[in-house]
Structure 1
């Protein structure tokens, strides 16, 4: 089902910009792959961006990413033809503005529980008349390969707004959240969701309440024409998730480094 909107969004836009790799992949249904970046380094951002991902989620919620590193990572990632997405630490208006002023191709907002919260995020993410975002930086246009006037004309309908559903309240209200105009994607945080629903994390994956919650989130996204994504731990799970999700994020840089080293050390010592 198509998203029902009174103005173009990332789901319905006809704007063509080859720099927007994630948006183009989602619109084409090509199942983009992302990962999380938690380490504050331009070189780290470049290494991960050259690994083959369509987008990189710069983790300002749980990662060691401050304001300067956020700006530097966005610049490095976008310059290499990959889409930088910023997971902000909370839904405050100034935080959203600051994240988008880096030139990010979208934002991910954690632990959203109500439609009102989602609507406020959309308002903070859009320039008037759809929202209340202010303009004053040249950096957003640079991240999109545009002039500032071009960016101002297209930003409202090309920036991807991802809402994380990872609490019991979020699941309970997910249909209303998905119905909010300007919400482009529901993104499942499986670890926090398991903790909220089951009292432990990670989930095994077969718990009826957990499975039911995942199905409810996906159904809400499909009903309202929104993309649905989730985090997974490895490529095998990512391949399996393709049947149900539009996009996945495969773990993150810190776990990838640790897991590789631990596996190689085990081989060396065997």
Structure 2
């Protein structure tokens, strides 16, 4: 692994289909959300809300391989960037996710630089990594031929790593230093659980604040984009300027919250 290879931060590849990458590179504060429900129609509905990226939650969501492939195709066809949150850093899981045509992957609970290096290796074709090629599908999500995709994928696919454990915070400087890591993403609920023993955090607990500051410092020191999940648009607006992009809650919470608030009004 060497820093001489172009990455998503330094790429000169121009592909208008890569909405999330293009906006984050331009400093436009792109917005994302999580989708946990396995439905092409759900993916399409959310993709048409004006956001820039949809994170298909294959860690905690009810999304299997078929729904993952179908949702990526539906989202990318509507001009939005599909990102897959996989369930762990295993090579075969990363390969399977990227072969859908996703514009990036998000990997949860990264604890060490070695895990980060493994993710990068599995995410990139040789010579930067060890990703294999054998599918026509991934190029489709990028609007490219397979040869074009193979030439550009290493420097345009976003590799997003979640810091949400005590070990991850302790090792975040080394994690962020790994070449090929593009986005350092805070999972605030799991981070609060790991540090404080409860969730959600109020947000002002000294240990929680210190951890976020440490993660931000590492991301900025090593030139990586910095991101977090927030529960609503108001907090997303406040995050602009500090974070490069945010994910605003997810489909299941959005549906529940809307119904709960409307039923409360109806019964009042």
- Please indicate the TM-score interval, normalised by the length of the shorter structure: over 0.9
> Which position in structure 2 is the counterpart of 1:34?
32
What residue in structure 1 maps to residue 13 of structure 2? 15
Aligned-pair distance for 1:115? 0.2
> Which residue number corresponds to residue 148 of structure 1?
146
> Where does residue 74 of structure 1 map in the other structure?
72
Q: Which residue number in structure 2 is paired with residue 49 of structure 1?
A: 47
Give the number of equivalent residue pairs.
267
Structure 2 unaligned residues grouped into runs of 5+: none
Residue 261 of structure 1 corresponds to 259
TM-score when scaled to structure 1?
0.98
Q: CA deviation at 1:6?
A: 1.1
The 5 A counterparts of 1:130-141 are: 130-141=128-139
Report deviation, 1:5.
2.5
Mapped to 2, the partners of 1:24 and 1:37 lie a distance apart of 21
Question: Residue in 1 aligned with 2:211?
Answer: 213
Structure 1 residues 199-210: aligned runs within 5 Å: 199-210=197-208
- Structure 1 segments unaligned to the other structure (5+ residues): none
Report whether the alignment pairs 1:123 with 2:121: yes
* Offset, 1:243: 2.2
Output the TM-score relative to the length of structure 2: 0.99
Deviation track 1:11-48 (CA, whole Å, cap 9, x = no partner) reads 11000000000000110000000000000000000000
Distance between the aligned counterparts of 2:225 and 2:32, measured in 1?
Answer: 14
Partner of 2:244: 246
Q: Deviations over 1:157-201 (max 9, x none)?
A: 000000000001000000000000000010000000000000101
SS at match of 2:141: helix
